[in-house]
Structure 1
Amino acid sequence: MPCHTSPYVSKGLLCLVQLHSVRRLEGKQLEGGVKLHYFCIKNNDGISISASTGSYGRMRRHPWERAVRCVCGAGDGATAERERRGSPITESSPYEVRRAQELNNLLGPKGSSDAIDLICDLHNTTSNMGLTLIHYTSSDWVTLHICRYLQTKITKVPVRVLVLDVPISDAYSLESVSKHGFSIEVGPQPHGVVRADIYIIMKEAVDLTIDWIHKFNSGTVFEGGDMETFRLIKSVDYARDPETRSLTAAIHPQLQDKDFCLLKQGDPLFLSFSGETVNYEEEETLHPFFINEAAYYEKGIAFHVGKKMMLTIPTVQVQKD
């Protein structure tokens, strides 16, 4: 199998959007004279950057718009959003849009040679996602090898890899600014709540990510091979009243907390408030995830569905001068 080479990962960022951080991180000297700089985006004294200071005091995920979702816009209204973010910043511009442009200028600009090498965006979710690693492209071998490394090293919980296969130009979150990047979702954990088990899982994922970078920069060759991934297919909304758009059903108890289970025709999806069951009617078997995520109610998403795929990745090693 051909070997892919990539430059040192010398500038990295760990972005914490949880209210409770994993730990404070300092610069670390690696072998070969390379220094990995990594720091947190959070609301503590002495930290270099705060992504969205308005969220923390309100104990809410996003009081206005989310800065990490505004950086490079995608999804509904993506074109309009990109045009808005490309317009001059004024005092009347939404706070999160202004902050997103500042972050893009600081950590990017996106798509440029000056962009930071790696961003790992840390999230908690109210869904029973376990440890899920999310990234945009199936051709970023550095990111995929980090994900594969975590899959092989972490045994306490299942480690799933979700590939969105979205062009980076249309990618919308903070990690899309860097040359390589992914987000970590750990759940279930409500916002504003500390759970020791979730803390431990996130910390292990962070430590192993740094460990992989250390080994890569030191010359370790990571052999290629197959890895299990999930591909996003579509989103499913709640059952709603056709006139008022109010919810008429909740996630069915048999589906609740069953993220990444196999969804087959006839399986229950929703339980209406009048006691009726709404079943899955499609023939294709898929895997639901982000089931009943609190932040998705306003987006009209009850859960996403995806398809399990095997991905073959090449051997990688650091590009030497």
Structure 2
Amino acid sequence: MPGMPPEFPETPDLPDTETPETTNPVPPRREFLKNAALFTGTVALLGGGLEVLTRRPGALAEGEPGELLAQARRPLGPYDTSEAVTPYAQATTYNNFYEFGTGKDDPARLAGSLRTRPWTVIIDGEVKKPVKVDIDTLQSWFPLEDRIYRMRCVEGWSMVMPWLGFPLAALLRRVEPNSHAKYVKFTALDDPKQFPGQRSSVLDWPYVEGLRLDEALHPLTFMAVGLQGRVLPNQNGAPLRLVVPWKYGFKSIKSVVRITLTREQPKTTWALAAPDEYGFYANVNPAVPHPRWSQATERRIGELRRRPTLPFNGYAEQVAHLYKGMDLRRFF
């Protein structure tokens, strides 16, 4: 693959005897959540183009997904994968969201407890123009784009997700990082009344993630407000989530309420909980196994056989240069 660093060996072809993910049960600490689908329908690939829905102004009312979007068609863009999209019903019922709990059926029972309006986001820290803004005003600042990205979980499963949102770089440039800004810290909502999983000590709350500033400014890094042309469902991180497609899914923090630019590398939730298992970078690397899951292969949701895991989740050509000279085995 062009741009592949030497730390990533070529992945061999797999025999037909590869077993599905279900033969390797997930321990409770990283057990993915089974979610409830809020809405119906899917996005269809039509003749090399994607049937997508585009935003109508002033229409992000909670529970009114049809008011957010109207049908349009466009060709695949430079950041899109042409792989088959994961069906909407599976994409909204098979994910991790520990704020709702660690059980697979917790989001199906509890996602309705989250109220995404009103919702305020703070962007502050090492910036010239800090701001506190309502979510609807925030997304009105940018034309909404759709991106079809691969998503890879450290547990060994993957999806293809059509997100709707805007590049994080557009937001960061608006607030003008100063010369001291080196990292971006993201903080999720901390409210046990809305997130029953936060009543447990499975993690230290609130959930925190972070990126280097150059990672955050990369054109692939995305803030999503929608999924498959609809309002982002609660169980998928409503109303605002980070999407970093070349990193394992736990980096893509959900239900964001604060974005802070910092001088120092932020302490992130999973790196604090299990530093030997979850590093700050979390780049998809088939050559570096997790202590409990090999990363050499993955199972795409909806498929039976496993497939080789791609370095940087298939985005090596776009992002490998960000890590030139780094030991990618050490900096997991």
TM-score (norm 1): 0.24
Q: Which has the higher helix share?
A: 1
Rg (Cα) greater in structure = 1
TM-score (norm 2): 0.24
